[in-house]
């Protein structure tokens, strides 16, 4: 599923154009690929996902906030200062012992950037986009998350109109943790629904 700059034919048209532009900028010495990779890693690992983790940690520690979050995700997320393009209308769905939620965008790669940062490559891959709908339990198991047969899996299809964020179940043994410590437990993948904490 992965493609590199040496095989632009394997890329989607827009990705091929970006790869070509990047290649020219690197050749002319105007772009440092290591710097770009560092910026992307920062968005993937720190900025976006940490915003979502703060939202989840607040919901785990503040019942009134959790109720607002589930009733109006956009407004509750905005309370913590996270808003903007790709997060204009947010719906938060809660994992429970009976229900596991999974987020996908079947048409392209709509994704809540203000709370999760940049989408992972696999999220945009056609295999993930189709299999998340057709065989979510099998796909999750292959990604290392086994959902018991008795647990319902609900698949949410993000779009330009609505983006979804999974509120994972609070892990056992975290009762004494602070909100900040709890945020450190939350992962990007748990807020997409491909991982259980």
Residues with catalytic roles: 105, 108-110
Return d(Cα 96, Cα 153) in angstroms, integer: 11
DSSP structure class, residue 43: I
Return d(Cα 195, Cα 130) in angstroms, integer: 18
Parallel/antiparallel/unpaired status of strands 90-94 and 99-104:
unpaired
DSSP structure class, residue 82: -
Return d(Cα 145, Cα 195) in angstroms, integer: 6
Output 137-144 pairs: Cβ under 8 A, ≥24 positions apart.
140/100, 140/102, 140/194, 143/194, 143/195, 144/195
CB atoms within 10 A of CB 85: 7
Among the listed residues 105, 124, 120, the one whose alpha carbon sits nearest the alpha carbon of residue 41: 120
CB atoms within 10 A of CB 73: 24
Segments of 82-158 assigned E as strands: 90-94, 99-104, 152-157
């Amino acid at each position: 599923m992965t493609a590199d700059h040496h095989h632009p034919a394997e890329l989607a048209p827009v990705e091929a154009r970006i790869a070509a532009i990047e290649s020219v900028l690197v050749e002319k010495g105007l772009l440092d690929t290591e710097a770009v990779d560092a910026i992307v890693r920062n968005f993937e690992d720190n900025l976006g996902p940490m915003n979502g983790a703060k939202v989840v940690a607040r919901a785990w520690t503040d019942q009134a906030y959790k109720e607002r979050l589930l009733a109006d995700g956009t407004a509750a997320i905005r309370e913590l200062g996270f808003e903007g393009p790709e997060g204009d209308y947010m719906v938060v769905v809660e994992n429970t012992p009976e229900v596991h939620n999974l987020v996908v965008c079947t048409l392209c790669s709509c994704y809540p950037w203000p709370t999760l940062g940049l989408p992972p490559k696999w999220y945009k891959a056609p295999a993930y986009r189709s299999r998340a709908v057709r065989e979510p339990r099998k796909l999750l198991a292959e990604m290392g998350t086994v959902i018991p047969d008795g647990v319902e899996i609900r698949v949410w299809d993000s779009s330009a109109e609505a983006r979804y964020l999974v509120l994972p179940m609070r892990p056992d043994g975290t009762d004494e943790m602070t909100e900040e410590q709890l945020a450190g437990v939350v992962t990007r993948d748990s807020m997409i629904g491909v991982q259980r904490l």
